[in-house]
Amino acid sequence: MPNFFIIGAPKAGTSSLYEYVAQHPDVYMSPVKEPAYFKPRADVAESDGDGAPAGTGLDEYLALFDGATSEHVIGEATASYLQSVPAAERLSDAAPGARLVAVLRNPVDRAYSGYSMRVQQGSEDLTFVEAIDVELGRRPASPARRVGYLGPGWYGRHLSAYLARYPREQVRVYLYEDLRAPHDLLHDVFTFLDVDPAFHPTLEHHNVTRYPVKSTTVAAAVRRVPGKALARRFVPASTWASAKRALRRRNSVRPEFPPDLRRELIELYRDDIALTEELVGRDLSAWTSSGGRGG
């Protein structure tokens, strides 16, 4: 059974943290991110995370760690564990001595980033205002719609569920902004995990949400570039990735986050932000200002 879990939150930098920590020679991370084993299947379906269950039973889950050898830390990362009380219960029952790490992002910006990811994937056809209206019951939803963007941002209530089951010294909470100084953050994470804190992994952002393309016609044309499959056989992967990033930047637009909606969502989260601030011992006043980074 793993002894380390990155439990969330979605769209808060957990993919980057997973990749950084996995490079440490004394840490073995599941090669599948987001196995979601400890979440009920209904919770997995409603999550706005970017993963899916790797297996249906304990044997399939434990097989993810067959590659571990002499590593001191065995871990996995499922960003949607944080928002699931059943996951907190199952984790504490199965791995009571495990160490947990959470990364929290301004919940309003996190919600918008989750929405942008769905648009990028082609699985969301509502505007952000319309999607929030559906979630708040101000607009009818289709029977098949299950995704929500606000739920993962109730960090205070979610952390409370974990801190009721794990000693505080086994839980470390960081902020999305901490990733701007990744070596400092990782020194602290590695110290927390009792592995060499001087190790410096290769740093690169992962799972960055792209903004919706200006034209779906442009996006479709890019996907149908003649000879693309053949070109990928001969063009180095790094060059191909750089070209894709440049194309996305050129054909993407950063939509404005309506100020009125931002203010409304700040008020919606305000009490929970105060609880989160108390639980993590960090100043979160920036989260309740009307400014924000958006997607």
Closest CA to 80 of 39, 28, 109: 39
DSSP state at residue 252: B
pLDDT tens-digit readout, 178-202? 999 999 999 999 999 999 999 999 9
Instruction: Give the chain's largest Cα–Cα span.
Output: 57
Q: Kindly report the CA angle at 98 between 95 and 102, in degrees rounded to 5?
A: 120
Residues ≥6 apart with Cβ < 8 Å to 119: 212
Which domains does the chain show, CATH number per domain?
Answer: 4-208+258-288 (3.40.50.300), 216-250 (no CATH)
pLDDT confidence of residue 146: 79
Query: Percentage of the chain surpassing pLDDT 70?
Result: 76
DSSP notation for 88-131? HHHHHHH-TT-EEEEEE--HHHHHHHHHHHHHHHT---S-HHHH
pLDDT of residue 236: 72
Residues of the chain with pLDDT under 50: 45-55, 210, 213-223, 249-250
Structure tokens that stand for 97 in this block = 């001595």
- Residue pLDDT, tens place only, 103-144: 999 999 999 999 998 988 888 889 999 999 999 999 998 887
Token reading at 135: 């979630």
